[in-house]
Structure 1
Amino acid sequence: METSLARDLMSDEEWAFFERFILTVRAPNGRRPTNHRLVLDGVFWIARTGAPWRDLPAEFGKWSSVYRQFRRWTLAGLWEQIMDALNESGAVQHALQMIDSTVVRAHHQAAGAKRGTPRQGFGRSRGSFTTKIHLLVNAAGLPMRTEITAGQTSDYLGFELVMAENLPTPSALLADRGYDADSIRKSMDKRDVLPVIPMRKSRKKRVGVDRALYRLRNLVERCFNKLKNARPVATRYDKTVESFLAFIDITSIRLWLRHLST
């Protein structure tokens, strides 16, 4: 008896959520997959296991067809549209936000994409061949915005990437000492945001922080831990920046939906 490899499939409620977004990005003259839901479940299977696309179980359809549809959705901005809709839904409070970054190692097979490794978010850091994920989360510890850069990139640059103008503005932003910069503090002052950031030891003029509030920064670290349960996020296998960021967004979206369903 053949055992199915498909588990953790979408519920009907989850599919109903995704379907309305998928129908808006479908190319009118493209070949329509026989089953959008099955294709999306195949994408989720890859996002969870980190397996090569060629190892996708046949029950999801031909692997090359699922991969091509994944790339179409990715390049059409589907995952970003969904993340924007979740951020704008008002389902979670955004008054308190946390920012942080983490470095993930890139598999050697991830190298070799067109335009060179720097443009694809690869670099050299303490972890050798790496990519850095910059993450902004809300008060519920859910991802709001993720960006990726080369592994050696400063957190200062990551701050500018994730603090987008179209996101809800927080009342307070929590971050570690890596974000203690005059430019960041001035940027927060202009937005009327309280920066809860410990100062570097080299600072002569000291500004205290609310330690009780600062303890909540662990929410962003816990969010990284949840994201890295998805193997393509914990280790980068993708050659292109679009595909790697897509898997981070897909994992983020599913975290949102599981939170909202509880």
Structure 2
Amino acid sequence: MARGDLTDQEWALIGLLLPPEHGRWARPAGENRRFLNGMLYVLRVGCPWRDMHERYGKWNSVYVRFRRWVEQGGDALLQTLVDLGLTDNWQHMVDSIVSPCPFTGYGRKRGAHSEAFGRSRGGFTSKIHARCDTQGRPLGFVLTGGQVSDYKATDALMKLSVPTPKAMLADRSYDSDSFRLDLLLRGILPVIPSRKGRSTPQNTDWRRYKDRNRIERMFNKLKQMRRIATRYDKTVLSFISFLNLAAARLWIKPLVNATQRSRN
């Protein structure tokens, strides 16, 4: 087993959750572990598919399996792990980070906006909007251009198929009357500091707000995977599928630990 590959305990948990293989040219499902480890290698190292290590087999076979899973539903694995993980609904958090895009030529092609490319102070970038639970475990993502304001992605984040929390933690960039009202109508307490210069500052539970660093730590873990730290994928579907795969990787270890504790 190479560094970064799934352990036997992790594979026992995740192996049955992968999409089944059908069709005349489908390879045996028993090879899913090798293929998935190849995808995790590309995710962690950030290399082109052609430079994937040979121990995972032919790069094209792994790429084709990746694309097939993406087309069958790239977020299905993460959603299943979230459902199995008994998400902590005491409080959720939303935040965003910017992922630079080295291929500036995308900006001169049609459809750049639909593929979540945009220009910001950091150059040609994409913005990753995320929602996580109180343990800092990712629940879902939304992609936009890097120049898009944070609160414009809140509608999509709130529509994620997850239970309703008691409170929502966010920084000042999410301080808008419409977002606060939407949270209150859902029965969620907004824990959001007021923007500087706000005419009517809102009260903030600062003791609770201290927990918001957990989503920052989640982003730090995600950005250790080089395919996330820098966006190399042209299509939004491929990039968000890598995001979901990275998020699933963060879910697997705590679920394995919880399973082992329940058996002891």
User: What is the distance in 2 between the residues matched to 1:39 and 1:45?
Assistant: 10
Which range is displaced more, 102-111 or 198-207?
Answer: 102-111
1:205 corresponds to: 200
Which range is displaced more, 178-187 or 83-92?
Answer: 83-92
Question: How many angstroms does 1:87 deviate by?
Answer: 2.2
- How many residues in Structure 1 have an aligned counterpart in Structure 2? 256
Are residue 14 (structure 1) and residue 10 (structure 2) matched? yes
Instruction: Please tell me the root mean square deviation across aligned C-alpha atoms, in Å.
Output: 2.0
Residue among 237, 250, 254 paired with 1:255: 250
Are residue 240 (structure 1) and residue 235 (structure 2) matched? yes
> TM-score w.r.t. structure 2 length?
0.90
User: Could you list the runs of 5+ residues in structure 2 that have no partner in the other structure?
Assistant: 258-264
Residue among 7, 16, 27 paired with 1:32: 27
CA contact (8 A) 1:122 1:150 kept: yes
CA contact (8 A) 2:93 2:169 kept: yes
Question: How many angstroms does 1:30 deviate by?
Answer: 4.1
Deviations 1:33-79 (A, max 9, x none): 571211111111101100111111222111111111101101111x4
Quote the sequence identity (%): 42
What code does the residue aligned with 1:211 have? W
2:89 corresponds to: 94
3-state DSSP of counterpart to 1:111: helix
CA contact (8 A) 1:120 1:240 kept: yes
Moved over 6 A (4+): none
Deviations 1:229-251 (A, max 9, x none): 00000011111111111111111
> TM-score w.r.t. structure 1 length?
0.91
User: What is the distance in 1 between the residues matched to 2:105 and 2:143?
Assistant: 15
User: What is the distance in 2 between the residues matched to 1:93 and 1:104?
Assistant: 28
1:124 corresponds to: 119
Alignment of 1:98-247 (within 5 A): 98-108=93-103, 111=106, 116-247=111-242
1:71 corresponds to: 67
Question: How many angstroms does 1:159 deviate by?
Answer: 1.0
Given the superposition, is the C-alpha separation of residues 165 and 43 from structure 1 closer, same or farther in structure 2, using an over 3 Å criterion? closer
Which range is displaced more, 48-57 or 107-116?
Answer: 107-116
Are residue 53 (structure 1) and residue 49 (structure 2) matched? yes
